């Protein structure tokens, strides 16, 4: 057989997971191959034209801090930014942007093409070559072989993809792409267990057939935002979205045609996500709701296509047209691409380690929608981690594993490989137990150092970061050390900034705790340095929410010890005495990395954890686990 090439790392699929994986691996210094079914569809956005939102925006910021590409790419190509949840606490502020889909794609494509150490090739992978439980390479559709030391599966929704549209269905990937038909069986031959999931997308409609006067405009924020710590964009052209609502007439059309919906006629077997229900599901499940909102979102600057957010559907095209026309502003709507559902194979993520490597196949990693997640951001985050860890594998170094207290990325991966998922998994802020610590405003402070360790953080970024961190630390010391006394001069100063008198000697730190004060106000009266807006923001959050932050840090400290107690791969749970059978079974299958991870497995009780601790200690004293 013809050997077409040899690489350190091969990435299968060039969606949001694949590009991050390939870029990370190449940037760390591994000779990397990125494969795609279609060169024109690298980093394609087949569903909504947006990046970010609650928890998702956090992921992008984290990814950026670690040296990922999504944040930078979004900042170069997005056409509207909004900070969501600004009325709530800083932990849940969330940046969301509308992307120009094609611009996003081709900018990312260029980044990949010009990346040193990285080859991008259009080809279809059909078979994985594995020997001695270790990945050796891939074989492609046309028979050629590429050898590698590590490979990453980032196949998205393409594995045995099936498009369902009303009464019709056909084999294929999203947006009229080919599906990967044979890779699934290659995986199954290797003993990988697959699940069947489903997701859907709404119609794209012609902007010129919409009447925006009947809709509510949703403009971007006036203040400029960026995802990336390294983006300095202060002005950009912003395009609005539009809000309108369904009504009883819409619902009636859908109800009348429910019998033609694939979910009703049994054509869909896969499990769909609850947070992204089709409009027909919404109407069945919440019959009392009089109207559902929908957003019309631009797909880009140079297209008339508009995305109908909130109206995901797999009803036949005639029904789609009929119900859309009942909506104010859409009376004359023309559909350019209909909505559809897609079913696909994905990997049961319980088979993966926290590094995203398969437990049973050394050097083989999996990331993104192929792991049962949904969303570009979730995919990108996993891709980055898989890319880093494939590189670490090649270099025979420790993998990068983020804890739940480090990052949303840690929460995402820990949830997947510890609890598994029964529907396409979406990250949410409510999944993070240490939400107050994992803010989007401090992603750089949490993770830049870790990105630096693996070699993804450039000198430029690191210098910039170090400067910010130093400024925060120094100013914090000043705030604590500068003390003011209750006297006439102080009184006047406090009056000037609308604050009441102090009774005892008070540090500026404590003064800043007053709800009516800000760093700027305190600085206007007392001797403090002028600092950047980001530094001010950090200081204020640290001071204002000190009590709550402390509480969460204590919680982290309590559980941290258990996270650090590692469970060797070689433990045979069958011979650990006194474990309950259910615990024994789950532990054997999931093979948790640490006692902490073990404690989060459903069916493993605190008593089982105690027993494991005793067992570990017993083995430590008797000279290690055999």
Contacts with other proteins by CB under 8 A lie at 48, 54-55, 84-85, 87-89, 91-92, 94, 273-277, 282, 285-286, 289, 292-293, 295, 309-310, 312, 419, 428-431, 433, 435-436, 545, 548, 551-552, 557-558, 561, 577-578, 580, 602, 605-607, 610-611, 613-615, 617-618, 621-622
User: Measured from the CB of residue 579, what is the shortest distance to other proteins in angstroms?
Assistant: 8
Query: Which DSSP letter does residue 18 get?
Result: H
Q: How far apart are CA 36 and CA 358, in angstroms?
A: 22
Take residue 275 and report the two structure tokens written for it: 């947070």
User: Measured from the CB of residue 621, what is the shortest distance to other proteins in angstroms?
Assistant: 5
Residues in contact with 477: Cβ distance below 8 Å, sequence separation at least 6, in sequence order: none
H helices, E strands: number in the chain: 21, 22
What's the CA dihedral at 266, 270, 273, 279 to 10 degrees?
-30
Taking a C-beta distance cutoff of 8 angstroms, is the pair 323, 335 a contact?
no
Query: Which CB, 92 or 154, lies closer to other proteins?
Result: 92
Dihedrals φ, ψ of 358, to 5°?
Answer: -65, 135
User: Measured from the CB of residue 101, what is the shortest distance to other proteins in angstroms?
Assistant: 16
User: Measured from the CB of residue 404, what is the shortest distance to other proteins in angstroms?
Assistant: 13
Q: How many C-beta atoms surround the C-beta of residue 167 within 10 A?
A: 12
Q: How far apart are CA 405 and CA 414, in angstroms?
A: 11
Query: In 151-218, which residue ranges form alpha helices assigned H by DSSP?
Result: 183-189
User: Measured from the CB of residue 576, what is the shortest distance to other proteins in angstroms?
Assistant: 8
In which element (H, E) is residue 509 found?
helix 508-512
Taking a C-beta distance cutoff of 8 angstroms, is the pair 377, 217 a contact?
no
Numbered residues of the known binding site: 13-18, 272-286
User: Measured from the CB of residue 274, what is the shortest distance to other proteins in angstroms?
Assistant: 4
Query: Which CB, 48 or 355, lies closer to other proteins?
Result: 48
Query: Which CB, 357 or 377, lies closer to other proteins?
Result: 377
User: Measured from the CB of residue 381, what is the shortest distance to other proteins in angstroms?
Assistant: 17
Taking a C-beta distance cutoff of 8 angstroms, is the pair 317, 335 a contact?
yes
Taking a C-beta distance cutoff of 8 angstroms, is the pair 339, 200 a contact?
yes
Numbered residues of the known binding site for NAD(+): 272-286
In order of 83, 94, 223, the CA distances from 87 in angstroms are: 10, 11, 16
Q: How far apart are CA 70 and CA 75, in angstroms?
A: 9
Query: Which CB, 116 or 622, lies closer to other proteins?
Result: 622
Numbered residues of the known binding site for FAD: 13-18
Query: Which CB, 296 or 407, lies closer to other proteins?
Result: 296
Query: Which CB, 483 or 551, lies closer to other proteins?
Result: 551
Taking a C-beta distance cutoff of 8 angstroms, is the pair 331, 211 a contact?
yes
Query: Which CB, 198 or 282, lies closer to other proteins?
Result: 282
Query: Which CB, 83 or 230, lies closer to other proteins?
Result: 83
Q: How many C-beta atoms surround the C-beta of residue 532 within 10 A?
A: 12
Query: Which CB, 84 or 145, lies closer to other proteins?
Result: 84
Query: Which CB, 132 or 622, lies closer to other proteins?
Result: 622
Q: How far apart are CA 160 and CA 185, in angstroms?
A: 9
Residues in contact with 62: Cβ distance below 8 Å, sequence separation at least 6, in sequence order: 381, 407, 408, 409, 443, 446, 447
In order of 67, 114, 332, 447, 532, the CA distances from 459 in angstroms are: 11, 20, 55, 15, 21
User: Measured from the CB of residue 89, what is the shortest distance to other proteins in angstroms?
Assistant: 4
Query: In 182-338, which residue ranges form alpha helices assigned H by DSSP?
Result: 183-189, 248-256, 262-265, 279-285, 317-324
């Amino acid at each position: 057989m013809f050997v077409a090439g040899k690489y350190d790392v091969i990435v299968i699929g060039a969606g949001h997971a694949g590009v991050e994986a390939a870029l990370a691996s190449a940037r760390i210094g591994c000779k990397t191959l990125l494969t795609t079914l279609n060169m024109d569809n690298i980093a394609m956005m087949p569903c909504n034209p947006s990046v970010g939102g609650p928890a998702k925006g956090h992921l992008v910021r984290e990814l950026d801090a670690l040296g990922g590409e999504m944040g930078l790419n979004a900042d170069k190509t997005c056409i509207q930014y909004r900070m969501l949840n600004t009325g709530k606490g800083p932990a849940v502020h969330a940046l969301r942007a509308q992307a120009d889909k094609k611009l996003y794609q081709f900018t990312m494509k260029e980044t990949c093409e010009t990346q040193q150490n990285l080859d991008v090739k259009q080809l279809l992978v059909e078979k994985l070559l594995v020997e001695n439980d270790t990945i050796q390479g891939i074989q492609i559709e046309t028979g050629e072989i590429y050898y590698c030391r590590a490979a990453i599966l980032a196949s998205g929704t393409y594995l045995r993809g099936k498009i369902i549209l009303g009464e019709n269905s056909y084999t294929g990937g999203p947006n009229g792409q080919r599906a990967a038909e044979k890779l699934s069986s290659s995986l199954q031959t290797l003993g990988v267990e697959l699940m069947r999931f489903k997701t859907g997308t709404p119609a794209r409609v012609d902007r010129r057939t919409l009447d925006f006067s009947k809709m509510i405009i949703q403009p971007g924020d006036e203040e400029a935002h960026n995802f990336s710590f390294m983006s300095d964009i202060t002005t950009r052209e912003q395009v609005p979205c539009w809000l309108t609502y369904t009504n009883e007439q819409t619902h009636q059309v859908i109800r009348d045609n429910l019998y033609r919906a694939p979910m009703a006629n049994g054509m869909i077997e896969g499990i769909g996500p609850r947070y992204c229900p089709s409009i027909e599901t919404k109407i069945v499940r919440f019959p009392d709701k009089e109207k559902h909102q929908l957003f019309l979102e631009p797909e880009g600057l140079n297209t008339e296509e508009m995305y109908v957010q909130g109206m995901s559907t797999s009803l036949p095209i005639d029904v789609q047209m009929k119900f859309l026309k009942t909506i104010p502003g859409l009376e004359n709507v023309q559909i350019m691409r209909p909505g559809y559902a897609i079913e696909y194979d994905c990997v049961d993520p319980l088979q993966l380690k926290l590094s995203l490597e398969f437990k049973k196949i050394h050097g083989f990693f999996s990331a993104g929608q192929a792991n049962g997640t949904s969303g570009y951001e979730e995919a990108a985050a996993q891709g980055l981690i898989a890319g880093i860890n494939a590189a670490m594998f090649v270099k025979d170094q420790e993998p990068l594993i983020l804890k739940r207290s480090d990052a949303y990325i840690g929460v995402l991966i820990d949830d997947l490989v510890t609890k598994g998922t029964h529907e396409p998994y979406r990250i949410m802020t409510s999944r993070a137990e240490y939400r107050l610590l994992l803010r989007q405003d401090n992603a750089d402070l949490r993770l830049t150092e870790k990105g630096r360790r693996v070699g993804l953080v450039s000198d430029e970024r690191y210098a910039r970061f170090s400067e910010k961190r130093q400024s925060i630390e120094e100013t914090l010391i000043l705030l604590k050390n500068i003390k003011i006394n209750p006297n006439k001069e102080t009184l006047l100063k406090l009056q000037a900034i609308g604050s009441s008198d102090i009774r005892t000697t008070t540090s500026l730190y404590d003064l800043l705790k007053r709800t009516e004060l800000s760093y700027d106000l305190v600085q206007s009266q007392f001797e403090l340095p002028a600092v950047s807006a980001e530094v001010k923001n950090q200081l204020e959050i640290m001071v204002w929410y000190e009590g709550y932050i402390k509480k969460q840090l204590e919680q982290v400290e309590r559980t941290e010890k258990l996270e650090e107690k590692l469970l060797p791969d070689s433990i045979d749970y069958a011979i650990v005495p006194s474990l309950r059978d259910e615990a024994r079974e789950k532990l054997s299958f999931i093979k948790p990395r640490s006692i902490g991870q073990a404690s989060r497995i459903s069916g493993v009780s605190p008593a089982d954890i105690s027993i494991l601790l005793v067992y570990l200690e017993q083995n430590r004293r008797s000279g290690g686990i055999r």
